[in-house]
Amino acid sequence: MAQKDNRILLLNAPRLPLEDAKLEELTGDLHDFAHAHGLVMRLATDKLSSEVCQTTPLTLLPSPFPKNVFEQAVKLQDLYALLYHTIAYDFDFLIDIHKNVVKTDEFIRNMIEILKKVKTQGLKQPITLAIQRSDYMCHKDQASAEYGLKQIEINNIASSMGAHAQRLTEWHIRILKALEVPDDVIKRAIPENKPIPMIAEALFKAWSHFNIPSAWVLVVVENVNQNQIDQRHVEYELEKLGVPMTCIIRRTLTQCYEQLSLNETSDLMIDGRPVAIVYFRAGYSPDHYPTNKEWEARERMELSTAIKTPWIGLQVANTKKTQQVLSEDGVLERFIGKPRDARDIRISFAGMWALENQDDVTLKVVQGAQKHPDAFVLKPQTEGGAALHTGDEMVQMLRELPEEERGAYILMEKLRPMIIENYLVLAKKPVTFAKAVSELGVYGYAFGAKDAPELKTAGHLLRTKPETTAMGGVAAGHAVVDTPFLYEFI
């Protein structure tokens, strides 16, 4: 349930702004803590090397976030994991809802073509794994002035920043103690945050299920990756669970094309050993497939006995189009059998409309977006940080997009997130005390066969950016990693 923002009570939270001397002291301490604990990123000027790294963009303090909204997001995660696990197996549904998208979106078209081949040949590996992060905003309803949870997107591939979020939580507990916040307040306000053990557990389950001790964990990576350290923490945790480091291998999609093969029983082979699981930390963006070779490598993986996270059905389900269609009457309920669960999920939906639809409701909404562009955003189909279109640019696109290109975009209600204040810390830049907005992500997994997956939720990520910033990438410097300071209304 939402609550009115004029009833906020944040007793015992640090009072801001801090004195200059205290701010300087704590900021220096944060940089030391970050480098001592692997809370770092490669330099933007040298993304190929970890020899010299910099502090990940962070908040000095945890940011206020309503406890009831946070708990709602955590409660929903298992439902969302089950929902997308189920949708991924419905080949006909996914192919049909993207029939207009594929006319102009080459990336989605190539995904659909692989999905069709998997459908024709049958799943060589019926066990699948979804490592997921569902992202939300604490949205302020304009009519009621109440805050509630609204989903921005689902990330079924390369869900990142978990290691940074986990370590930043440790720092935020430390700094609150330094600012003499009582231990009982810290315990209630800072929720446990351990996504990396959960992600490693999911990968370990998949590797163990394959039941060949020498089999590979294949991590598919980008050619250039500034966020290498965040990824590595997952691998190191996986080693602690019992996967030998000699069984973990990192390859780009181009290298996969050159080195992977299928044997007569459809095992995915590299260096004479089978691949147990393919863990995609790349493959979500069109520029990860510069030639047909990378697509051929992806197809080879999908037609193999290796467990994939995500497999092609799950990634096709990860489009804005799927998200929009689920919001239509009766569609969500097709996949979620319990009315109460469907209701809980539907409450978190933001308004979304398909541009190719020509019904009266959609046409009216599009006209409204042209008259009131500050109330809408236009989004492309794929995830992974693709640009938003807002304001005059959005209006022009709504007016001029050719009919055949309209299926590549989704019109979405512009969310009104809660505004907070915090210190934003970026390497080699002055610390800024800014009005900012936050986006909450909750991690979870679904592992197993079609009808009986194992579900688990653990860990969260808060990303915070200045309220005037439209984009939200941490590596690009638009946003910073954060953690929530939960408060309750009275």
Q: Give catalytic residue positions.
A: 133, 153, 155, 160, 320, 379, 383-384, 463
62 and 74 Cβ atoms separated by less than 8 Å: no
Integer Cα distance of 211 and 205 in angstroms? 10
Distance, in Å, from the CA atom of 119 to the CA atom of 450, rounded to the nearest integer, reads 14
Cis before residue 310, ω within 30 degrees of 0?
A: yes
Cα–Cα distance for residue pair 81/130, rounded to 1 Å: 7
3-class DSSP state for residue 46?
strand
Centroid of chain to Cα 383: 8
Cα gap 223→405, rounded to integer Å = 30
Strands (E), 232-306: 248-252, 261-262, 268-270, 273-280
Name the E strands within 3-156.
3-4, 40-42, 53-55, 58-59, 63-66, 128-140, 146-155
Q: Beta partners for 280?
A: 220
Q: Is 264 annotated as a binding residue?
A: no
Q: Is 155 annotated as a binding residue?
A: yes
Q: Classify 151 as helix, strand or coil.
A: strand
Would the annotation count 465 as a binding residue? Answer: yes
Whether 429 has a binding-site annotation, put simply, is: no
Tell me: is residue 113 an annotated ligand-binding position: no
Determine if residue 125 is labeled as part of a ligand binding site.
no
Q: Is 133 assigned a ligand-binding role in the annotation?
A: yes
Fill in the amino acid letter for 251: R
Question: Which residues define the annotated binding site?
Answer: 133, 153, 155, 231, 320, 383, 439, 463, 465
Question: Which residues define the annotated binding site for substrate?
Answer: 133, 231, 463
Question: Which residues define the annotated binding site for ATP?
Answer: 153, 320, 439, 465
Question: Which residues define the annotated binding site for Mg(2+)?
Answer: 153, 155, 383
